[in-house]
Amino acid sequence: MRYLGKQEIEDIAIGAALLGTGGGGDPYIGKLMALQAIEEHGPIKLLDPEEVPDEAVIVPSAMMGAPTVMVEKIPSGEEAITAFESLKSNLSTEIYATMPIEAGGVNSLLPFALAARQGLPVIDSDGMGRAFPELQMVTFYLDGLSATPMVLSDEKGNGMVLNTINSVWAERLARGATIEMGGSVMLAIYPMTGEQMKSSSIRNSLSLEENIGRSIREAKEKNYNPVDSVLELTNGYELFQGKVKDINRKTESGFARGTATIEGIHHDKGKELELNFQNEHLMATADGELLCVTPDLIAVLDAETGMPITTEGLRYGARCIVIGMPCDEKWRTEQGIATAGPGYFGYDVNYTPVEQLNEQEGNHDA
């Protein structure tokens, strides 16, 4: 157990942008909300999963919606409390702690804002080890836990309790409601016991984000490039260096979908990298050759500062380094690949671990 103050939140926000793999919503909003909550309520207690009693009731919290909308419609924090309190009343029990469902983007930070205001601890783990765009794309789903009862709350005061036959239906009904409610809502979701959390969640992902963020911050302060230390922390690979040449994005069915083309510079000169995203970067190919594909992680870093760039933040002409990182082993099972692999997102490639795609060519920097 330790307490997180403003510096830790700043670092986690940077790491969240990186593990957000370009999506999950800009962590900036979540960071502002968490910092404001610490300002008002003091430091936030972070628990190691092992410190949580087996019989404790845990309720993850999250925002649902398209990142483009989130930027325009910043939540007050009241919606999260309403969703949380409504689920507490539905469960007729006290809640021991909250946690993120995804390590990545705004959803890594939002549970801190809620926890500070509710006087609850946050658990150092999540359900993805990265960001993904749909509610069933969590290790909890792979382990048979139910997303419901879950609550959606909007900023206007509308609320919805869902009880669905499975988490795919939860995703479907919540997505439709999110669009009706204005494009983004707050969720209290996947209620579970401490025992279930310990066996199913991806552990210490918030600490990993903090370490990533700290190394990027320190590199910036001391004016060196942080990519090597990021690759070391994440067991990652440098995939490409280049300049953004083309971006196509559109918001449809509540998702920000698109592609970006990056033109090679330095040793990648003459080549082109194509990035495919649906909120998150999901597939990277260079001149038709697969370099990294979901559920493995792809992040785009500013070539100068090493700061992660979201899909929304990609700008024409930006110089960047694209990295690939292995996902948690839970995603590499048959069910994991069926749930969040390339086929699910409509890409006609077989999943191959990023290590295999890159080590055999000898370009692993570690």
Footprint of a second copy on 77-106 (CB under 8 A): 86
Choice between 32 and 179, CB closer to a second copy: 179
# chain residues binding a second copy, by CB under 8 A: 19
Least distance in Å: CB of 336 to a second copy?
Answer: 25
Torsion of CA 113, 256, 151, 4, to 10 degrees: -20
Q: What angle do helix axes 6-19 and 27-41 make, rounded to 10 degrees?
A: 160
CA dist list (Å): 207 to 114, 262, 355 = 19, 31, 23
- As given in the structure block, the two tokens for residue 59 are 């309720």
The correct pick among 160, 192, 212, 297 for binding a second copy (CB under 8 A) is 160
Confirm if 336 and 59 have CB atoms less than 8 A apart: no
Interaction of residue 366 with a second copy, rule CB under 8 A = no
**DSSP state string for 112-135:** HHHHHHHT--EESEESSSS--SST
Confirm if 65 and 183 have CB atoms less than 8 A apart: yes
Choice between 157 and 317, CB closer to a second copy: 157
Footprint of a second copy on 128-157 (CB under 8 A): 156-157
List, in sequence order, every residue forming a beta bridge with 246; answer none if it has no partner.
Answer: 261
Footprint of a second copy on 204-233 (CB under 8 A): none
Least distance in Å: CB of 364 to a second copy?
Answer: 45
> How many residues does the structure list for the chain?
366
Choice between 172 and 271, CB closer to a second copy: 172
Choice between 155 and 312, CB closer to a second copy: 155
Q: For residues 250 and 259, what is the distance between their CA atoms, to the nearest angstrom? A: 10
Choice between 178 and 311, CB closer to a second copy: 178
Choice between 53 and 176, CB closer to a second copy: 176
C-alpha 175 chain-centroid distance: 17
Footprint of a second copy on 256-315 (CB under 8 A): none
Choice between 177 and 337, CB closer to a second copy: 177
Q: Is 317 exposed, middle or buried (0-12, 13-18, 19+ CB in 10 A)?
A: exposed
Stretch that binds a second copy, among 135-143, 159-167, 186-194, 206-214 (CB under 8 A): 159-167
Stretch that binds a second copy, among 1-9, 55-63, 160-168, 344-352 (CB under 8 A): 160-168
Site string for a second copy, 163-182 (x = CB under 8 A): xxx---x--xx--xx-xxx-
**Alpha-helical runs (H) found in 42-148:** 67-72, 78-91, 106-118, 139-142
Least distance in Å: CB of 79 to a second copy?
Answer: 13
Least distance in Å: CB of 319 to a second copy?
Answer: 43
Catalog residues that contact a second copy under the rule CB under 8 A.
Answer: 86, 156-165, 169, 172-173, 176-177, 179-181
